[in-house]
Amino acid sequence: MKRTEFDFDAFWSSGTWRKLGKEQARKLFAESIKTEEAWRDIQRARDAYAEHCRREAAWYTPMLGSVWFGKRKGWRDWVPDEDERVEAIEDDHSGMNLNARAAAIQRQLKLRLGANGRLPTVEQIKERLKA
């Protein structure tokens, strides 16, 4: 596949990220997508991120496009492993009642996101656990 066949504009339109920072994203895309393997990986990452956004729509705000294409906490974090990595936070708390599970998951998320991260409420987590 030739480099010119990696269509940034079509790819940009297909993502679930917020459509801000397009020119910065274009530059980052050009720097990182130079092989067929990278092209396949970024498409897989887009699909995994779209699924995450769909699944967590009640509380998750999609990241800016310029961040998603970035080098730190960007698209590479969303490329599934060969084993199709799966978050297992919920499984760690399967023996607890619903309220305790939701509170434990929220505490784990708080540790991951840090003080400035936007967290779901315990009620939102409980609703997701019921689904």
Q: Which residue has the higher pLDDT, 109 or 127?
A: 127
Regarding whether 102 and 74 lie in a shared domain, the answer is: no
* Average pLDDT rounded to a whole number, residues 3-15: 84
CA nearest to 125, candidates 85, 112, 26, 108? 108
Q: Which domain holds residue 61?
A: 1-83
pLDDT tens profile 57-103: 888 889 899 999 987 778 888 887 744 433 434 444 455 677 777 77
First to last CA, the chain: 42
**Cα–Cα distance measured from residue 63 to residue 85, given in angstroms and rounded to the nearest whole number:** 21
Do 79 and 102 lie in one domain? The reply is: no
Please tell me whether residues 66 and 109 are part of one structural domain: no
> 4 versus 68: which is more confidently predicted?
68
What is the overall mean pLDDT for the chain?
77
In three-state secondary structure terms, 64 is strand
> Is residue 29's pLDDT more than 50?
yes
Residues 79 and 95 occupy one common structural domain: no
Q: Over 50: is that where the pLDDT of 41 sits? A: yes
Number of domains into which the chain is organized: 2
Dihedral, CA atoms, 44, 48, 54, 58, nearest 10 degrees?
Answer: -150
* Between 84 and 26, the higher pLDDT residue: 26
The more confident residue out of 77 and 114 is: 77
Listed residues 68, 83, 98: the one ending a domain: 83
Q: What is the pLDDT of residue 84?
A: 41
Are 72 and 10 members of one domain? Answer: yes
pLDDT for 113:
53
Share of the chain above pLDDT 70, in %: 72
Give yes or no: residues 8 and 72 share one domain.
Answer: yes
Claim to verify: residue 104 and residue 122 sit in the same structural domain: yes
